[in-house]
Structure 1
Amino acid sequence: METPVKAVPPVAPEAGALPGEAHAPFHTPDAEAPAGISRRGLLTYALSAPVLTVAAGFAAPRDAEAALPLTPPDTVDFFDLGDAVTLTSLPTMPLVRLSVGKNGRVAFELPRAESGQGISTALAMMIAEELDVPLNMVDVTLSDARPELLVNQLTGGSTTIRSFAGVLPLMAAQARARLLEAAARQWGLSASSLNTANGHVLASDGRKAAYATLTLAASLIPAPLNVAPKSAGQYRVVGKAAGRIDALDIVTGRKQFTLDIPVPNAKPTMVRRPPTILGTVVRVNNLGTVKAMPGVIGVCVLPRGGAIVPIPPGVAVMAETFGQAWDAVNALDVTWGAGTIDGESNASITAKLKASLPALGVPPVSIPLLGSVTIDAEFEMAPLSHAPLETDCAIVDVKRDASGNPVFCEIWAGMQTPIAAAQSVAIDLGLPPTAVKAHVITSGGSFGRRLFWDPVQQAAQVSKALGYPCKLMYHRADDMRHGRMRPPQYHRVRATTALGQVALFDHRIASPRLDGRHGFGDLVTAAVGAVPAVFQQTPGNLGVEEFLFKTMVSSPYNFGVSNKLLLPVPIIMNTASYRSVHIQPTRLCEEIMVDELAKALGKDPVAFRLEFLRSPRAIACLKAVAATGQWGKVMPKGFAQGIAVHQETRSYTACLVEIDARPAIAGTGPALVTKAVIAIDVGKPINLSGIDAQVQGALAESISIVLSSGLHVQNGLPLEGSYSQYHFSRNRHYPKDVKVIIMPPNGEAIGGLGEVGLSASSAAIANAYGRATGIKPRKFPLFFPVDFTPFPPGKLPTRLMLPLPA
C-alpha cells in the first residue's frame, strides 16, 4: 500500500497563486481533459499544479468573493464546539499534572480517553519538544476521574489537541525553565547561559546534569511567568512522523484493556437482553434452574432507574467463566415487556422522519440557459453501529458493609466522560461522590460510543446485588443490537441558482433524537440535558443536540441564503454521537448536490467548487488532490472519479477517489474504491504518522458507511449481530493506492483531526458512484442486502464449542 506521509514543501508562489499554496506531486495524465479544458490547457494546469491559472482554462471566471456570500454566516466561523471545550477547560488546566521524576522520565496524566486515536502520542511529542527529551522518555497515563477538573475531562468532538495546544507546551516550557534554574544555582551560573538536550542541562564549559539529578531542587523553584514555548523554527519533534508510544505494548500483548485488568475475584458477567430495543423485564420464569447451572454464581434482574440516563434493561448472570455465563444467559426463560419501537423497521422509521419534515414549497422555474436551476433531492441514512473492536465492557467493585449496604465503589472502564459516570453511579448506589473511584482504561475503539457509561451502570448494580466485583462484557450481538447507534436520518435539500450563482440552499434534516445527556462530561451539564428526568426526549437534551449541530456543522461554500435545519423526532432509540455524527451525513448530501449543480450548469465539478469555496485553505486542498489524482482522466466504462472538499473543527480536507462500480452495476456486491488521494490541512501538524493514520481510518470508515454498512431494524431490533452480518469494509475493500498529502504549517492554530477526514472521503465515494453508474446516490449504504440469517431476537448466538487438540 502506497501511503507516503509527508508535508508538501512550500515553494515560491506563482502568479495568481494563493498565499500558503504549495505544490503536490503530479503525473501528467494520459487521458482526456475535464469538460471545458483543452489538452494544452490541461498540460498548463498540470505543470502549475496545484495552482490553477487562468491560462489553463480551468480557473473559475470569478473567485468565491464574487459569489453570493453565505447568509447568514455559519456559526462555526466564529465559535465552534472546539472553542467551547477549550474555553471551559481552561480554568482547571493548572490542575493537570505534568512532572519530571527522579528517574528523569517525564510523566503526564492525561484527563482524556485514549481509544486508538493517538492523542497520547501527539501530546507526548509536544512535551518532548519543549523539554528536550527523547520521546521514549515521556510517559502518558490516563487520569482517573477527577471531579475537580469540572468539564475538563470530556473526550469528544476532535477537541483534545486543540484544548491542550495552548497550555501543554507552556507547562513543559515552565518545567524546563525550572530545571535550568536549578542547574544554574548549583553551578553559580546564569540560567540564560545554559541549554538543554536529551534530558540534560548543558553548560558552555562542558558540564552537564541529567534532569534526574535536578528534579528535587527544581520542585522548590516557583514556576516562572515569563517563559514562552519554542517557535516553529526550533521544532525537532513536532511536525515529524513518530510511531505510537504504546504501539509495542499493543502488538506484544502487554497493553491492558478493561477486561485485562487483574481485579482480584472479579467474576465474568453477561446479560440476557430484551427481544426489542429498551424492552422491560416482567419476570424470570426459571430462576432456580439457571442458578443451579455449572459455575453460576448469581442472577440479577437489572433494576429500573438510573441517574442522568436509564440503566439498560436485562437479566445479568455472573459465573466463574464467560462461557458458563453465556450458557446460563441463553438458558434463561424471561417474560418481556414492550420496548420503545416495537414493530418498527427502517422503512417505518424513515416514513416518520420524512413526514416530520416541512415541505420545501413550489420550486422556482428552472431556466438552464440563463443559469437558473433548481434541484430537489431527498436522502436516507440507515442507522449505524459504532462497531469498535472492543465491545462495551466494565469492571466494577462495590464494597458493602455487614448489612449489605454499599460503602465504596471502584470502576475500571474506557470512559469518555468519567466524571459524569462516577458521579451518576454514586447517585445510583446512594453513595457520596467521594466514595466512587473511576479508572479510565485505554479502549479498543470508541467513535463516540463511550461518551455513555452503560456497562458501568449495569456492572455496578450486579456487583451491589451479588457481592463480587463484576467483570461485565457485552457480546458482539449485544453491542450491535442493544448498544448505542448513530440514529437514522432523512434529508430534504433544495438548491437554486440564479444567473449562474447559487442563490438559495435549503437543507432540512430529521432524525430520532441524539442522546446528548452526557453534557460536557460532568454531572451538572449532564443533568441539564436530562431535565426533566421522566422523559427520554427532554427539552434539555434537545438544547444540547441543537447546540452540537450549530457548533459543528458548516459549509465551505458561498451559497447565498443558506439554511440548515435539524428537526429531532421523538422516536426513542439507543443513540449516541458517532464520529462526525450530524456533520458527515449533512455534508455528504451537500457535496452530492454540488456535483449535481455543476452538471446542471455544464461545469466541471472541480471548477465549480473553486468558484464558490470560501477559504483559501479549502481551495489549496482541493487543488492538491485534483493535481495529484489526475482529475478528469478518461476511465473505462463502470469506473469513475469522484471528488469532494470539507471543513470541520478549524481543519480542511479534500479527497479524490477512483471507483470500480461494476459489482454494483451487476448487483453482485458493493462498488470498490481502487484509489484515493487525500489532502489534509490541520493548521499545525504535530505527528505526521498519526495524521496519516487518522485520515486513512476515516477513509476505511467512509468506504463502509457509504457502500455497505448499516443496521436493518426489523420488529424493533437491529438484525445485525456480528461482523459477518454488519458489513464493515475488509482489507480487500480498501484501495492499494492511497496518497495522503499533509499540508504544511500555515500559521493557523491547530485544528481537529479525528472527525474531519470522514465527510470529504464519503462524499467523493458517493460522487464517483454516481458518475460511474449514472444513478443518483440517495439511500445509504448503497449496497444493503440482508444476506445472512439473523440470530434469534432476545438470545445470544449459540456458543461454538471447539474440541481441544489431542
Structure 2
Amino acid sequence: MENSRRDFLKKLLLTSGGLVIGFSDIQASNATTIDISKEGDLKNAYLVIGKDGLITIFSPNPEIGQGIKTAFAVIVAEELDVDWAKVTVLQADLDTKKYERQLTGGSGAIKHSWQRLRVAGASARYALIEAAATKYNVSKDKLKTEKGKVLSSDGRSWSYGELVSEAALVKIPAEVPLKSKSDFNLIGTTIKSVDNKDVLVGNPVYGIDFKVPGMWYAQVIRPASFGQKLVSFDAAEAKALPGIKDVISFGNKVAIVGKSNWEVMKARKLVKVTYSNDKPLESDSTHNTIFTDLMKNGKAEVRRADGNVEEAFKKASKVIEAEYQCPFLPHNAMEPMNFFADVRENSVRLAGPTQTPQSGQNQVAKLLNIPVENITVELTKMGGGFGRRLNNDYTLEAAEISSLVKVPIKLQWTREDDMSGGIYRPAVRYKFRAALDEKGNMIGFMLRGVGLNAGNSTRQDNFPVGAVDNVLVDSVNYESDITTGPWRAPITNFLAYAEQAFLDEVAFAAGKDPIKFRLELLDKAKKNPVGKLTYEPERFEKVINTVAERAKWGKVSKNVHQGFSVYFSHNSYVAQIAEVLTKNKTNSLSKVYAVTDCGIVINQSGARNQVYGAVIDGIGHTMYGNLSFENGQPKQNNFDSYRLIKYNEVPEIDAVFIDNGIDPTGLGEPALPPTGGALANAIFKATGKRLYSQPFALQDKKVSEIL
C-alpha cells in the first residue's frame, strides 16, 4: 500500500514538471513554492499541481471515519479554485517537522487547521495569478481564477498546468488574500468521501489490511483479570505446531508469533498461563461499595464555587435531588486493534491505525531506546476508534515483540482481546441538587462526580453553571486496576445525559416547560452572568429555538411524547428532541431532531453522517451498553453477550446545521452527549418513569422494548 503511494508520487513528480506547494501545518503563512527539479521530498506535506492540471493534496491527520481526509482537501481546493473532479487526496505519514497536532481526537482537527489549510490553497492561487500576469503581461487586477484556470478580463484563459513552471519561481508573501466566505463553491456543499470507492471495492486501506513480504503474525495473551500478574507459562505444545516461530513473555504478557494469524490463533489455545494477584480482584459489588462510600464521605476536590450554596439551600422553597450512574464501556471499534512493527538495530518502521501517531512514535523511542528521528510511522485508515486508538498500548506491544523476536510482525487483537483488554470508558456516578425559590427559579446548584479512574469527572464551567448565583461543583476519583481512557466525548457522554435528565426533573418541580426553563437560565447567563462563561448563551438559544420549531415542540398529537436536551461540548452546540410514539399501547422511539451549531460546515455529507452516527451511538449505548465485572474479569467479551443497537432499531434522524458563518468548531463528538438526555426525557413523558442509570434496558422491561 505504501509502496504504491510512493510510486504514484514519484511518477507524478518525474513526469509532470509541476508546481509543488509546500505548507507547514505549524506556520501556514510561511507556505512556499518549491521547484521540484531541485526538491521532491515524498514525506513532506505538499500540494502538487501537475502540468496536466491534476491536483494532489496530502492530508496529514489520521482518518478514523470522521471524514477529515476529505474535509481537509476540500478546504485547500476551495481556496485554490480547482475542479474537485481533478483532485487526488493521499494520506500523509507522520512528519513532526512539517505538522503540529497530527492527531485525531477532541474534535479539534478542523478548528486547528482551518486557517492553515486556507492559506495553503490561497498561496498556490496567488503564485498562479502572479505567473500569468508576468508571463502574459496582464495586470493582476484583471485576472481571476475558476476551476483550475486563470481567467483574464479580455477573454483569455490558461490552465493551472500551463502556469506551474513559472509559478514555481514566484515568491509567496507572508500574507495572501483569502476568499470571501460568500464566494465559497465547494465548502458547504455535499461531497462524497474520497475513500468511498476503496472501501466499497475492498482495497487495502485499513490497518488490518497492511502487509509486507516476510512479516510474521503475533497475538498476545493478557491477564484474564485486572490486577493479576504473570507467574509462569508453558508453551511446549504451542511451539510444536507448524508455522509457529516462537512463544515469549514480555512484561505481564505472553506473545505467540507465527506465519499466519490462523496458525497463531490455534497455538494460542495451547499455551498454559498461570497468574496471581496480591490483592482482591474488583467486581461490580466492589465498585458499588466504593461509589456509595465516596459519594458520602470521599475527600472531594472543589472544581467551582460561586456564591453561598449552603445559604441558598437553607432558604429554598423546594430542593430536588437525584443520583445517576453509568458502567464501564468498551469502544467496540469494528476493526480490532492491530499494528505493524519492524524493529532493526537502530531504526523502527511502524504502520497502522492510531489516532496519536506522534505519541506512539515517542513511546516506542523511549521503550526501545532508539532515537525518535529513526522511527517512521505510516498512517492507515481506521475502522473506528472513538477514543480507543488515542492509546498506543497495542503499538508498543507490536514494537516490543518485533524487537524480541528480531523479525517484522503484524500484531492482531481478537474481538475478545478488544473487549477484555481495557482502556474503557470510566464508570461514574453523579449526585445533583437544585434549590428553587417560591417562583420556581433555580437559586442553587450542586454537583458531585465520583469516578473510577475518571480524574475530574465533571465539567465545572459548563451550563447551567454561570446562570445560577450559588454553585458548588466537586469531584472524587478512585484509582482502580481497571484501565480506562477517553471514550467518544469523554466524560460528557454520560454527564450530559445526567445533567439534562436532572434539569428536566427540576423544570417539572418548578412547574415550567423544560425548554422555557433552560431559556430563562440562558437569559440570566446572557444578561447577568455569574463568573466567567465558557459558552455563548446566544448560540445556545439559537439551537434550542431552532430544534423546538422544527419538531413543533408542544404542538404534536397526544400519542407523540417529546423529550428535550441540549449540550455544549468541543466548542459546538447541539440541541435534540426525541419522540416516543405510542401506538396500540406500545411505545417506540420514532424520531430524533438534532440541530447543530459547529460554525461553517465543510462538507454537508460528512457533517450529517457525523450527527447520524453520534445519535445512533448515543441511543445504542444509553439503552444497552453494559460491561460488568466479577473477580476482575469483564463478563461480556463479544457481541453475543454485549448488546449493540440493531439496524431496525434506528429511528428517523432529522439533522440540520445553523448557518452563521463562524469559523468551524468540533463535530465528531458534540452530537452524542445530548442524545441520552433527550431519550430519557421522552421516555418519562411516555411512561412517567425517571431513569437514573444506564443502560436503560436493564432498569425496566417496558423501557427495553422502546427500540
Shared fold, TM over 0.5: yes
8 Å CA contact retained: 1:350, 1:380: no
Which deviates more from structure 2 when the two are superposed, residues 322-331 or residues 197-206? 197-206
1:618 equivalent among 540, 553, 557: 540
- CA distance in 2 between counterparts of 1:161 and 1:377 reads 38
Which deviates more from structure 2 when the two are superposed, residues 191-200 or residues 674-683? 191-200
Question: Which amino acid in structure 2 is aligned with residue 772 of structure 1?
Answer: A
**In the alignment, does 2:658 pair up with 1:743?**
yes
2:474 equivalent among 565, 578, 586: 565
8 Å CA contact retained: 1:503, 1:560: yes
8 Å CA contact retained: 2:565, 2:674: yes
Distance 1:646 1:365, change over 3 A: closer
Question: Which amino acid in structure 2 is aligned with residue 765 of structure 1?
Answer: L
1:459 equivalent among 398, 403, 406: 398
How much has 1:169 moved relative to structure 2?
Answer: 0.7
Distance 1:150 1:176, change over 3 A: closer
Question: Which amino acid in structure 2 is aligned with residue 454 of structure 1?
Answer: D
How much has 1:161 moved relative to structure 2?
Answer: 0.5
Distance 1:149 1:716, change over 3 A: farther
- CA distance in 1 between counterparts of 2:491 and 2:62 reads 22
**In the alignment, does 2:442 pair up with 1:502?**
yes
Residue of structure 2 equivalent to 1:434: 373
8 Å CA contact retained: 2:574, 2:671: yes
1:293 equivalent among 241, 246, 254: 241
Residue of structure 2 equivalent to 1:245: 194
Residue of structure 2 equivalent to 1:595: 504
Residue of structure 1 equivalent to 2:10: none
- CA distance in 1 between counterparts of 2:151 and 2:218 reads 56
Distance 1:685 1:123, change over 3 A: same
- CA distance in 1 between counterparts of 2:171 and 2:463 reads 44
Residue of structure 1 equivalent to 2:19: none
Distance 1:484 1:226, change over 3 A: closer
Distance 1:365 1:229, change over 3 A: closer
Residue of structure 2 equivalent to 1:388: 333
Question: Which amino acid in structure 1 is aligned with residue 607 of structure 2?
Answer: I
- CA distance in 2 between counterparts of 1:283 and 1:396 reads 26
**3-state DSSP class of the match of 2:355?**
coil
**In the alignment, does 2:136 pair up with 1:216?**
no
* CA deviation profile, 1:174-196 (whole Å, cap 9, x unmatched): 11000111122211222332221
- CA distance in 2 between counterparts of 1:646 and 1:344 reads 34
Residue of structure 1 equivalent to 2:322: 377
* More strand as a share of residues: 2
- CA distance in 2 between counterparts of 1:176 and 1:418 reads 31
8 Å CA contact retained: 1:384, 1:486: yes
8 Å CA contact retained: 1:555, 1:647: no
2:343 equivalent among 386, 398, 410: 398
How much has 1:144 moved relative to structure 2?
Answer: 2.1
Distance 1:390 1:226, change over 3 A: same
**3-state DSSP class of the match of 2:505?**
helix
Distance 1:237 1:222, change over 3 A: same
Question: Which amino acid in structure 2 is aligned with residue 123 of structure 1?
Answer: F
- CA distance in 2 between counterparts of 1:489 and 1:454 reads 24
Distance 1:656 1:362, change over 3 A: closer
Distance 1:356 1:148, change over 3 A: farther
Distance 1:409 1:555, change over 3 A: farther
Residue of structure 2 equivalent to 1:97: 45
**3-state DSSP class of the match of 1:214?**
helix
How much has 1:627 moved relative to structure 2?
Answer: 2.2
* CA deviation profile, 1:104-144 (whole Å, cap 9, x unmatched): 33333333211000112122111121111122333333332
- CA distance in 1 between counterparts of 2:278 and 2:497 reads 32
Residue of structure 1 equivalent to 2:692: 778
Residue of structure 2 equivalent to 1:190: 139
- CA distance in 2 between counterparts of 1:565 and 1:149 reads 41
8 Å CA contact retained: 1:365, 1:373: no
- CA distance in 2 between counterparts of 1:489 and 1:339 reads 26
8 Å CA contact retained: 2:422, 2:482: no
- CA distance in 2 between counterparts of 1:659 and 1:236 reads 39
2:276 equivalent among 337, 343, 349: 337
Instruction: State the superposition RMSD in angstroms.
Output: 2.9
- The correspondence of residues 407-556 of structure 1 with structure 2, limited to 5 A, is 407-498=346-437, 499-514=439-454, 546=456, 555=464
**In the alignment, does 2:351 pair up with 1:351?**
no
How much has 1:227 moved relative to structure 2?
Answer: 1.9
Gaps of 5+ in 1: 1-87, 305-312, 400-405, 515-544, 788-806
Distance 1:92 1:460, change over 3 A: farther
> Which contiguous aligned blocks of 4+ residues in structure 1 show a shift greater than 4 angstroms?
88-96, 358-367, 548-557, 633-637, 660-663
* CA deviation profile, 1:292-345 (whole Å, cap 9, x unmatched): 1122121121x22xxxxxxxx4211112221211111111101113288x5322
- CA distance in 1 between counterparts of 2:246 and 2:329 reads 34
How much has 1:481 moved relative to structure 2?
Answer: 0.8
**3-state DSSP class of the match of 1:146?**
coil
Distance 1:177 1:593, change over 3 A: same
TM-score, scaled to structure 2: 0.85
Distance 1:332 1:478, change over 3 A: same
**3-state DSSP class of the match of 2:241?**
coil
- CA distance in 2 between counterparts of 1:108 and 1:349 reads 50
**3-state DSSP class of the match of 1:776?**
coil
2:612 equivalent among 673, 690, 696: 696
**In the alignment, does 2:212 pair up with 1:273?**
no
How much has 1:556 moved relative to structure 2?
Answer: 7.5
2:578 equivalent among 628, 632, 657: 657
8 Å CA contact retained: 1:259, 1:395: no
Distance 1:99 1:89, change over 3 A: closer
- CA distance in 2 between counterparts of 1:228 and 1:351 reads 62
Residue of structure 2 equivalent to 1:766: 680
* CA deviation profile, 1:720-776 (whole Å, cap 9, x unmatched): 1112322121111101x22112222x2433221111101222210111122222222
Residue of structure 1 equivalent to 2:82: 133
TM-score, scaled to structure 1: 0.75
Distance 1:92 1:196, change over 3 A: closer
How much has 1:89 moved relative to structure 2?
Answer: 7.4
1:713 equivalent among 629, 635, 641: 629
